[in-house]
């Protein structure tokens, strides 16, 4: 008889412990999900803010009234480490009538012997569709690069060929130099 009461008491203690563990696990799960949601919301807002700041910087680059395009880079050169991503922002300003614009990024010169610098682009280096820009309007976009971890250390020059209604409108250039990846 004593043994039977002990088994019941042990069973109750075990079920109470299980309930406490389940309650704590659910609380931690809810707190974890809330934290993850907060982090992602903050990250999304930061990206939107960064995009707005880049567009503002591109607008500031159009200092000359006759300037048709601008690239947001220091000294028109990007230093990109192997295996790391890098974005190059550019803008197009329509100085004439309304038109349909396209752009294509092409290598001009390179001192890369074994690598094709066009393979560094993560986002398409060309517009797949025409971009309508009203007279006096502006368009901005980014070119994303990511040389592989084993990319050759070299310097490549690129040109963005901007066309308006099929005719060359402007051809800004920039350089990309791959640097060795960091050890950490």
Same domain? 80 vs 105: yes
Residue 168: pLDDT over 90: yes
The structural domain count of the chain equals 2
Does one domain contain both 82 and 36?
no
Q: Is 51 found in the same domain as 69?
A: no
Residues 153 and 171 in one domain: yes
For residue range 77-100, what is the model confidence (pLDDT) as tens digits? 888 888 888 888 888 999 989 989
Domain boundary among 25, 42, 61: 61
| 35 and 52 inside one domain | yes
Q: Quick one: 76 and 143 in the same domain?
A: yes
178 contacts: CB under 8 Å, gap ≥ 6: 80, 81, 82, 120, 147, 151, 152, 153, 154, 155
Q: Tell me, yes or no, if the pTM score tops 0.75.
A: no
Domain assignment of residue 24, yes or no: yes
Residue numbers of the domain that contains 106: 65-179
Per-residue pLDDT, 171 = 92
Q: What is the DSSP string of the chain?
A: -HHHHHHHHHHHHHHHHHHHHHHHHHHHHHHHHHHHHHHHHHHHHHHHHHHHHHHHHHHHH--STT--EEEESGGGEEEEETT--EEEEEEEE--SSSEEEEEEEEEEEE--SS--GGGGBSS-SB-SS-EEE-TT-EEEEEEEE---TT----EEEEEEEEEETTEEEE--EEEEEEEPPP--
Instruction: Say whether both 71 and 158 belong to one domain.
Output: yes
Q: Tens of pLDDT along 99-148?
A: 899 999 988 887 888 888 888 888 778 888 899 999 989 898 888 888 88
Per-residue pLDDT, 1? 47
Give per-residue pLDDT as tens, 22-59.
Answer: 889 999 998 888 888 877 776 666 555 566 776 777 77
Same domain, 45 and 97: no
Q: What's the pLDDT score for residue 40?
A: 73
Whether 49 and 133 map to the same domain: the answer is no
* Stretch 152-174: mean pLDDT: 91
Q: Which residue has the higher pLDDT, 77 or 9?
A: 77
DSSP 143-169: EEE---TT----EEEEEEEEEETTEEE
The span from the CA of 158 to the CA of 73, in Å, is 13
Mean pLDDT estimate for the chain: 81
Asked whether residue 79 falls in the same domain as residue 159, the answer is yes
CATH number, domain at 164?
2.60.40.10
């Amino acid at each position: 008889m004593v043994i039977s009461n002990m088994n019941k008491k042990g069973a109750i203690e075990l079920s109470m412990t299980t309930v406490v563990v389940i309650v704590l696990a659910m609380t931690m799960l809810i707190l974890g999900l809330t934290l993850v949601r907060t982090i992602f919301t903050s990250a999304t807002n930061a990206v939107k803010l960064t995009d707005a700041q880049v567009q503002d910087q591109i607008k500031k680059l159009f200092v000359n009234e006759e300037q048709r395009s601008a690239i947001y880079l220091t000294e028109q050169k990007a230093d990109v480490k192997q295996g790391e991503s890098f974005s190059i922002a550019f803008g197009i300003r329509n100085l004439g009538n309304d038109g349909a614009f396209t752009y294509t990024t092409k290598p001009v010169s390179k001192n890369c012997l074994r690598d094709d610098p066009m393979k560094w682009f993560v986002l398409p280096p060309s517009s797949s569709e025409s971009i309508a820009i009203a007279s006096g309007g502006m368009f901005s976009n980014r070119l994303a690069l990511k040389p592989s971890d084993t990319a050759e250390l070299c310097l490549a020059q690129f040109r963005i060929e901007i066309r308006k209604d099929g005719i060359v409108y402007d051809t800004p250039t920039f350089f990309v130099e791959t640097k060795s990846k960091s050890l950490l």
